[in-house]
Every structure is written in structure tokens, then in C-alpha cells.
Structure 1
């Protein structure tokens, strides 16, 4: 798995990619958002190349990325951070992944920009969290 850290608009973003040769099989991105209860929070998003879907690649990369972040942040003295996934209510595949890997749904609401119904997942990842 490859990690790419970059700052397109002055904020650090983290992208984790699983490669098969020169083909990106799965990608997970973390973008900082407003802290919650004093702890950092990151929006998470993922994508899997079409021919690799249904093979557990997204689950594998999301878990590996969360473990890497937890371990790295713990070594740096940060003992907890939040992860927020916002999934379209019609995206059943991503909802299943989020519920298996991230957390039970925290809430349902409507996206402020599109007006589409969404499901929010919002776990606190701590140094001792089981992932």
C-alpha cells in the first residue's frame, strides 16, 4: 500500500492506495474537518476500480489505512481521532462497508449541497481501538 500526503489548499490530505502493478486497485482518502470534542476529525472516502469490486479490496484498504493512521498518530502522541463517512442512502454497497469496517450509522440526514438523503458514520478511533 502506498501513502501520499499532500496539501492542495494548505490542509494536509492523506491518500492510501493499493496497487496492482501500475493499476490503482483501491483508494482511501482522509481530509481534515472540524474537530469533535477537542479531537481531530477526518472525512473518509473510498473508491475501487471496477474490475476489482466485490473482492474485499475496499475493506482491506480502509482497515489498513485506519490502522496506519492510528499507529502513526499514537506514536506522535495523539491518542484519539474521529473518522466521518458520509454515504448516499442509495449507495448500499458503501453503507455495508461502512457498517462492517467503520461503525454503526450515527445519523441520517439530507446533504446540504445536493439535497440527497445521506447516512453518517462517526466513530472515535482510539489508541487501543480494535480494527
Structure 2
């Protein structure tokens, strides 16, 4: 059985592309170190990647991809990771909060009806990610199973844009 997707793997690829100059994230207005990259990793899949960037170094990132609707509203799955050297400093929490502000500013005016969800599916044994999700999304997660791996997980959900 496969493992729950690890956002750190994507973070390493993002970091390499940033250093090589093959991607150029755009600065965001809400935070001086926050940048965003909008891309289509595969046909039909839109992805927004927010990162704290200094020069050619990303310290942490959060990736948003459209997931299945929740309660009749759009829902974005979020995954996040922090560079090993910067862990334990609260950067992931700060980044998720700042990126949700940017996501809400950009998306809310485009919705036909107000409101959309952000959700994180976190493995029950991932202590660091559970702390970030509790601080940013919800302190009352729902028990679930990860759809890809089948492993026990927790679903953290937050409604934005209302």
C-alpha cells in the first residue's frame, strides 16, 4: 500500500527549479517574503504554490489544488512543507495563514456564490503537520482514510470567503 503523499517531495523539486531559475514566482501583496506560482502540472489540474522566498531560496511552501466540492462549495486541498534548516520556527503556520489570505483575495471575487473550503488531509502520525493544520484550519479534525494510500488520516477544514 502506498504512503500518504509527502509534500516535502514537491518542495524539493520547487526548490531546485527556483535555484535553477526555471520558475519565477510572483510577489504577493500581503507579505514581503510571500510569492506565488500558478501552473498546470497536468492537463486539467490547476495548482497554486505559495512560498516564502529569499533570493533563490524557498524556506517553506504551501500547494493548493482543487479537490472534490465540500457542502456544495469549491474545496482546495493544501499540502505544505518547510526546508529542513527552517523547521520548528513556525514558518509553515505563518505561510499557510498568509497564503490563505492571498487565496481568498484572489478567488472570492470570482466565485458565483460566496465561500470555499481549504482542507488538509494529514496522516495520524504526522505530528508537525497536525500542529500546523490545527493552528490554521481547525482544532476539530475529522477521522478519515487517505483516498490514495488508505492509511488513517485526519481531515482539517476551514471555510473562507464568506
Please identify which structure carries the higher strand content. 1
Partner of 1:100: 135
1:91 and 2:160 correspond: no
Change (3 A) 1:84 1:3: same
CA RMSD across the alignment: 1.5
Partner of 1:20: 54
Partner of 2:75: 41
Distance 1:112 1:35 in 2: 15
Partner of 1:6: 39
Cα displacement string for residues 43-81 of structure 1 (whole angstroms, at most 9, x for unaligned residues)? 000000000001111111101110011112233345211
SS in 2 for 1:8: strand
5+ long unaligned stretches in structure 1: none
Q: What is the TM-score normalised by the length of structure 1?
A: 0.88
5+ long unaligned stretches in structure 2: 1-33
Partner of 2:100: 66
Runs of 4+ with >6 A deviation: none
Please identify which structure carries the higher helix content. 2
Change (3 A) 1:22 1:41: same
Distance 2:87 2:106 in 1: 29
Q: What is the TM-score normalised by the length of structure 2?
A: 0.72
TM-superposed deviation, 1:5: 0.5
Distance 2:153 2:82 in 1: 20
